[in-house]
Structure 1
Amino acid sequence: MRASYASDPALTRGRLFPEEESHFRSPFQRDRDRIIHASAFRRLKHKTQVFVEHEGDYYRTRLTHSIEVGQVARTIAGTLGLNQELTEAVALAHDLGHPPFGHTGEDALEELMAPYGGFDHNAQAIRIVTKLERHYAEWDGLNLTWETLEGIAKHNGPVEGEIPWALAEYNARHDLELHTHASAEAQVAALSDDVAYNNHDLHDGLRAELFSTDELAEMPILDTCFAEVDRKYPGLNYYRRRHEALRRFFGVLVEDVISVSQANLKELKPQRVEDIREAGRMMVQFSPGVWKDLKVVREFLFHRMYRAPDVVETRRIVTQMVRDLFPLFMAQPELLPKQWRKDVEEIAGDQTALARIVSDYIAGMTDRFAIQEHARLLDGPGLDVLRGSGPGRVRQG
């Protein structure tokens, strides 16, 4: 049964461009489906999560990560009596704005775009779903509901201080009330992201042999998980043992979020979704104890996985690729594909507008395509140099 503070599709604030709604899908279901069918969503298949895309078929990509986040989010949302379709839509869209090479690529674009308003992947996700997806006859973007756009924009909390230009540009047309918290559904999507990547980065780090099972078994939360497995399955095969322990780690995080969020909601006693937005704090949270323990796990991953010596070298290589491509397209926009050159023709030499077009183009590249274009246009080293640099771990956490 849906709670009174859940987002009700029948009461949606609607879409920027009015359209006839479906007879058999709710507005939030349609949002989710449009996100899944978007070009940007498909490209997540070949975008870095932790490992550069070429390095192995078993490592997570942005696409598999987003699917895992969506699964966690639906579970938590259903237990809290929230709208699962809206929660899943926000979860699946939350990484659409990431450029190639994960946070390394984002750092490079942020530096290059500093004179032109900067770069922010959350704001870029809004730009993608409101402008850059150009498939429909009557509008640019996906024409998502206000609630889904709100969730994408501020699932991590109110947008305070200087608003990224890409978000400010859309917000001027369609007020997303950036000063408030988002719905509980969007907050669930945000915490589900933390649950998913803290769990699967441990999986991938073990597979890459960046650290050992014994090291994990000594860490907070994980020590209890391994001890429970050893009691229940003495002498269990090495690979099954660590999988069972990480399953339990995953369960601890999900159960903690549910328990704490239920307590927060019971204390607030919200009667409508606006009560969640106006609460002045996040309703969906980890407990202080689990959050403290997770910081230890994240610090371990930061040093042992995201900042391992060969990681730093891979970061250097792919950062240089982005730094090379950006000024090349700025100087020679005729090298852009035909559909992008049409946008350049409309800006009459405006350098800021040109930089934003170039940034949009580079941000939309997959890891593989960015490497190939660098090799084609600049006689770069291509995949060979990355294969020679060891596992290319470029995520920052």
Structure 2
Amino acid sequence: MINMYGNGDYERQNGELDDSETWRPPFVRDYGRIIHSASFRRLQGKTQVFPGHESDFFRNRLTHSLEVAQIAEGIADRLNDVYKDKLAGRKIDSRVCAAAALVHDIGHPPFGHNGERALDAKMKNYGGFEGNAQTLRILSRLEKKARYNSPVGGDDRAGLNLCNRTLAAILKYDSEIAEERSQDAKLAKGYYTSEAAIVANIKSKVLGGQNPPPKGKFKTVECAIMDIADDIAYSVYDLEDSLKAGFLTPATILATDEELLTRVAKEVTDQIEEDIGEEIDGTRVQGAFVAIFSDIFASKPTTEKGAEQERDISDFITAMRASQDLHLDSAKRTKLSSELVHEFIGGVELTINEECPALSKVKLDKATRIKVEILKQYTYLSTIYSNRVKLGEYRGTELVTDIFNALEKKNGYLLMPDDVRRQVQEAGKNDALKARHICDFVAGMTDRYAVEFWARLKSDAAESIFKPI
């Protein structure tokens, strides 16, 4: 029987064999390194859906990542219990799942996906920009925790120097992003060419020398768990934030017009039809929300004659009040979210790969997958696509583009912090490397820092020269 973890999993990126104390295993050390890293802290300044300055209640990328980590651990713990006979002692390490969840968003630039698109547009001739690829780059190169014992490829930085299995758990897309793409080409997902050698080493160590992976794409069991946990958190908690903000109520959701229901159904179908083998329609979308809010709108039966009309009016008033309560009553929102998360965790299934346990499959059952995707797509199209949210995002796109344009000019490096300035100068005439260093700097900004930096470049107000860049 092949074990779930081997020596190659515990080996660190620079080749070191972890000699941790017995009470602090290698994966636990990785978790600690992530928690204490600058990139993880910066997540507190990056928007999830609603800008943090609007309310302390709303989630940011940091609190979202903490919730994903808890859900990922819960999924792993449940699978280890439900499938204990089939696993036969080969438990999934829940701390690896949590570590992957903590860092799954650290590659996101300021202003979310709009910032991502702005940077990708500037980097299309140099390998593009993509959040997952940037996450790997931060963990394996940009963080200033460790270096290689000897220079590798002219760059001896080893980032946080995490274990190979921890790095494998964040490789969602097993695809190298092309160095050049046409201007109308869509955002590509995967990893940059600059990290291709690192990815190859991760695969080799995790698979015990089997390369390419047997029977399909490379995606570890911990990565699959993290990915599902992200979907669960995204679908439930973005809805909760939208209910709190008053962007949505159960009543408005159930009264959704046919056009939006059709759009949501199409997006759901596009995302999961290949997995579930059927097309979703608007009726299915509406039915999912009827099931979710059924307790809120439930009416009490009556057998009294002549009381039918009175009961209908009473039920209507009660339903409207209950709908509004989700906006005003945090206890009811919390209860709803808790029930949905518990239900979705219970819908996770495991298929063990006996030839390569690391690549065991984890997925949501069909009914749960549809429900999660409906929640995700509905919230995205009804809230994130609303004009009030889009106005803020548009400003973010312009800010990121303006900052990049200023920094890529002939003497733009003079506007950067000293360490980034040196990297750009050392790149010399290598335009691709120079652009990547600029991109790394801009992508690492928080929303607020990006606004302040832009203000130094563009604002009419005097900015203090005594505040560090």
Do the aligned partners of 2:115 and 2:397 also contact (CA within 8 Å) in 1? yes
Do the aligned partners of 1:6 and 1:184 also contact (CA within 8 Å) in 2? no
Do the aligned partners of 1:333 and 1:341 also contact (CA within 8 Å) in 2? yes
Q: Paired residue for 1:227?
A: 294
Do the aligned partners of 2:234 and 2:376 also contact (CA within 8 Å) in 1? no
Superposition CA RMSD, Å: 2.8
Which of 136, 140, 146 is the equivalent residue of 2:164?
Answer: 146
**Runs of 5+ in structure 1 lacking a partner?**
383-397
Q: Paired residue for 1:112?
A: 122
Do the aligned partners of 1:220 and 1:293 also contact (CA within 8 Å) in 2? no
Question: Is 2:419 aligned against 1:339?
Answer: yes
**Runs of 5+ in structure 2 lacking a partner?**
81-91, 149-156, 179-187, 204-211, 256-285, 301-314, 463-469
| Amino acid aligned to 2:126 | Y
Q: Paired residue for 1:392?
A: none
Q: Paired residue for 2:27?
A: 28
Question: Is 2:60 aligned against 1:61?
Answer: yes
Show CA shifts across 1:74-127 (max 9, x none).
000011121111111111111110000111110111111112210011110111
Do the aligned partners of 2:147 and 2:159 also contact (CA within 8 Å) in 1? no
The more displaced of 288-297 and 29-38 is 288-297
When Rg is computed on C-alpha atoms for both structures, the one with the higher figure is 2
Question: Is 2:71 aligned against 1:49?
Answer: no
Question: Is 2:354 aligned against 1:271?
Answer: yes
Question: Is 2:32 aligned against 1:16?
Answer: no
d(CA) in 1 for partners of 2:124 and 2:134?
Answer: 15
Q: Paired residue for 1:389?
A: none
Q: Paired residue for 2:174?
A: 158
Q: Paired residue for 2:442?
A: 362
Q: CA deviation at 1:8?
A: 2.7
d(CA) in 2 for partners of 1:289 and 1:316?
Answer: 36
d(CA) in 1 for partners of 2:2 and 2:108?
Answer: 31
Do the aligned partners of 1:129 and 1:141 also contact (CA within 8 Å) in 2? yes
| Amino acid aligned to 2:193 | A
Q: CA deviation at 1:224?
A: 2.6
SS of 2:246's equivalent in the other structure is coil
SS of 1:285's equivalent in the other structure is strand
Cα distance 1:343–1:216, how it changes in 2: closer, same or farther (>3 A)?
same
Q: Paired residue for 1:203?
A: 240
Which of 125, 128, 131 is the equivalent residue of 1:121?
Answer: 131
Q: CA deviation at 1:275?
A: 4.1
- Percent identical residues: 30
Cα distance 1:380–1:70, how it changes in 2: closer, same or farther (>3 A)?
farther
Which of 251, 261, 264 is the equivalent residue of 1:214?
Answer: 251
Show CA shifts across 1:283-309 (max 9, x none).
221222232333333332122101111
The more displaced of 284-293 and 76-85 is 284-293
Do the aligned partners of 2:132 and 2:190 also contact (CA within 8 Å) in 1? no
Question: Is 2:345 aligned against 1:254?
Answer: yes
Q: CA deviation at 1:315?
A: 2.0
Aligned length: 364
Show CA shifts across 1:314-368 (max 9, x none).
2221111011000100111110111111111211132211111110000000000
The more displaced of 75-84 and 52-61 is 52-61
Q: CA deviation at 1:217?
A: 6.0
The more displaced of 173-182 and 140-149 is 173-182
Do the aligned partners of 1:62 and 1:95 also contact (CA within 8 Å) in 2? yes
The more displaced of 350-359 and 216-225 is 216-225
| Amino acid aligned to 2:433 | A
Question: Is 2:220 aligned against 1:183?
Answer: yes
The more displaced of 108-117 and 243-252 is 243-252
d(CA) in 2 for partners of 1:140 and 1:172?
Answer: 13
Which of 402, 412, 416 is the equivalent residue of 1:324?
Answer: 402
| Amino acid aligned to 1:53 | G
SS of 2:362's equivalent in the other structure is coil
Q: Paired residue for 1:131?
A: 141
| Amino acid aligned to 2:354 | Q
Q: Paired residue for 2:307?
A: none
Cα distance 1:19–1:287, how it changes in 2: closer, same or farther (>3 A)?
closer
With CA pairs under 8 Å and 6+ residues apart, which has the higher RCO, 1 or 2?
1
Cα distance 1:16–1:285, how it changes in 2: closer, same or farther (>3 A)?
same
Q: CA deviation at 1:167?
A: 3.4
d(CA) in 2 for partners of 1:49 and 1:342?
Answer: 33
d(CA) in 1 for partners of 2:62 and 2:134?
Answer: 17
Question: Is 2:64 aligned against 1:79?
Answer: no
Which of 385, 390, 403 is the equivalent residue of 1:312?
Answer: 390
| Amino acid aligned to 1:190 | D
d(CA) in 2 for partners of 1:204 and 1:301?
Answer: 10
| Amino acid aligned to 2:424 | V
d(CA) in 1 for partners of 2:229 and 2:103?
Answer: 13
Q: Paired residue for 1:284?
A: 362
Q: CA deviation at 1:160?
A: 6.7
